[in-house]
Amino acid sequence: MTARVLSIAGSDPSGGAGIQADLKSISAVGGYGMAAITALTAQNTRGVRDVHVPPASFLAAQLDAISDDITIDAVKLGMLANAEVIRTVADWLERTRPPVVVLDPVMVATSGDRLLDADAEAAMRELLPLADLVTPNLGELAVLAGSGDGPPVVAETWAEAIAQAESVSARYGVRVLAKGGHLADDVAPDALVDAGTATIVDFGGDRIATTATHGTGCSLSAAIATLAAEHGDWSAAIAEARRWLRESLRHGEALGVGGGHGPINHFAGLWARGGTRTAPIPAEVEAEWWAGIADVRHEIDELPFIRSLADGSLEREPFLGYLAQDALYLRDYARVLAEAARLAPDAPAQAFWANSAHGSIVGELELHESWLGPAAGRSALDGAGESPVAEPDGATTAYLDHLLATAARGDYAVLVAALLPCFWIYTDLGERLAAGEFGAQALDPEHPYASWLATYADPAFAIATREAIAIVTSAASHATPAIRERMHRAFVASARHELAFFAAPLAAGSVAGATAGAVTA
């Protein structure tokens, strides 16, 4: 189940830190983000200009409204501007007891300025035991580790930072993520320190040279809260959150946001791996692809071969020539179907393409033999005997070259898209011939090619076609945009080869050759 994560923090209208960064971070690592705003800021990448803190009673109302209705799997705590706000949050946590609480104690700015007064700092210390993990920067770690009697001593070495984290963990009974990002070093280590189990888990990493660091602490803590709710393991959550953060840091400057310290790019990885365009559902793919070959389908409808086949005026010689080419085509088409079965990603698809290959060899062979004779049918498919047409013509050759080349590339999705028009266009023609759309002559039982026309409207083939459409459009829906585009190109190329194949029997030799040669994969 998706982790439902509540961020309780201040806002950042520039979008790089606070609530805005938290919601991006939660979403980027797979959670559902919610927000209760503790403070409104006027800030940008150069700094904070003003802060407005709404009444704590309104914060309490926000928190109660969420928890009264929604199960909260994790809470991230950020900017809590004063003691009243901190105690309001503490009271709510004690009442609701969320399973995961990560506290990013916004106490000391990067500049070193203290952001909370003494009363608020005292309230923050009281809040710490209610958290599962605290993620202070070095300045905040120094404040929490100090006694309060003098100025905090900020760690200058990683060993000093670890010692302070151990002190805070032991004193408040909370895990501490010590962060070395502000150390003057070429590396930027982090460590999960847990005095309760006497463990320290180190996370190494080279420093990333970038000015886009605005909101880094907010983003990391929100991501950790989300992933901890998902994994149930703090080390795993921190490791994955750091991997995501470092990727986002590397791409932050490319956003070009602001003239100061810009934000990280929270979605850089998602954009690169998945794109930013919504994938179509299978029904949308089906409608788009079918409409996209409307011109090809219209040209097929108007071909002299189709019209004369429908009204029965087609001479026997071109019809037998068409059947012989079709038999030659089926020989290699069955092999391509078998390759689709071999490449299929699941058993149902594998079975479908294998059954289709078998049908092409057995069922179609029987039909061709009934018209061409046993020797001719076998010759077309397996080389035995003699055939009226010994070699495939230009249209048949071009179509098979397209399918065989696609199969040889080994890309299942593109291959099945190339196979689909042979199902889809034939079924569409058959259903419309059977419905009399090409004239009533096609429905006459005495039609010279009645048995052949009946195969076009075979209900079993129509069912198989629907399954083929479902398999291919589902693959297209789940494919990347680049693969989906390649699938579409292969589909359109096959549709045009279908047109050339139907045109060839009645075309003059030179015209037929030109038509077939014009079709490209």
**Residue 511 pLDDT:** 37
The structure tokens listed for 40 are: 């409104």
Strands (E), 309-410: none
Please, what sign has the CA dihedral across residues 37, 38, 43, 45?
A: negative
CB 385 within 8 A of CB 430: no
**Residue 514 pLDDT:** 33
Query: So which residues are the catalytic ones?
Result: 179, 213, 215-218
As averages over each run of 10 residues, the pLDDT of the chain (521 residues) reads 96 95 97 97 91 96 98 97 96 98 86 76 94 95 84 91 96 96 83 96 90 94 98 96 95 94 94 86 97 97 94 91 88 94 97 93 66 51 45 94 96 98 94 89 88 80 96 96 96 98 78 36 37
- The vertex-440 CA angle with 438 and 445, nearest 5°, equals 115
Strands (E), 156-257: 175-179, 190-194, 199-203
In sequence order, the β-bridge partners of residue 32 are: 4
Q: What is the spatial order of strands in the sheet that 175-179 belongs to?
A: 47-52, 32-44, 4-10, 74-77, 101-103, 133-134, 175-179, 190-194, 199-203
Residue type, 454: A
Q: What is the pLDDT of residues 356-412, one digit of tens each?
A: 999 887 766 666 666 666 544 444 444 444 444 458 999 999 999 999 999 999 999
CB 327 within 8 A of CB 364: yes
In sequence order, the β-bridge partners of residue 202 are: 191
**Ordered DSSP codes for 254-309:** GG---SSS-B--TTHHHHHHH-SSPPPPHHHHHHHHHHHTHHHHHHHHT-HHHHHH
In sequence order, the β-bridge partners of residue 50 are: 42
In sequence order, the β-bridge partners of residue 37 are: 9
The structure tokens listed for 348 are: 């149902």
**Residue 113 pLDDT:** 63
**Residue 510 pLDDT:** 34
Task: Reduce the secondary structure of 78-112 to three states and give it as a string.
Answer: CCCCCHHHHHHHHHHHHHHCCCCEEECCCCECCCC
Q: How far apart are CA 75 and CA 97, in angstroms?
A: 10
The structure tokens listed for 232 are: 């149930």
SS3 at position 490: helix
* C-alpha atoms less than 13 angstroms from C-alpha of 63 in its C-beta half-sphere: 26
SS3 at position 179: strand
CB 476 within 8 A of CB 484: yes
**Residue 390 pLDDT:** 59
| pTM of the predicted protein model | 0.77
Q: How far apart are CA 267 and CA 273, in angstroms?
A: 10
DSSP 253: G
Q: How far apart are CA 451 and CA 442, in angstroms?
A: 11
**Residue 54, φ and ψ in degrees, nearest 5:** -65, 165
SS3 at position 518: coil
429: left (phi over 0), alpha (psi -120 to 50) or beta: alpha
Residue type, 108: V
List of residues 6+ apart from 287 with CB closer than 8 A:
none
Beta-strand relationship, 133-134 and 101-103:
parallel
Burial of 278: CB neighbours in 10 Å, binned 0-12, 13-18, 19+: exposed
The structure tokens listed for 386 are: 């003699």
Please, what sign has the CA dihedral across residues 61, 225, 1, 265?
A: positive
List of residues 6+ apart from 348 with CB closer than 8 A:
none
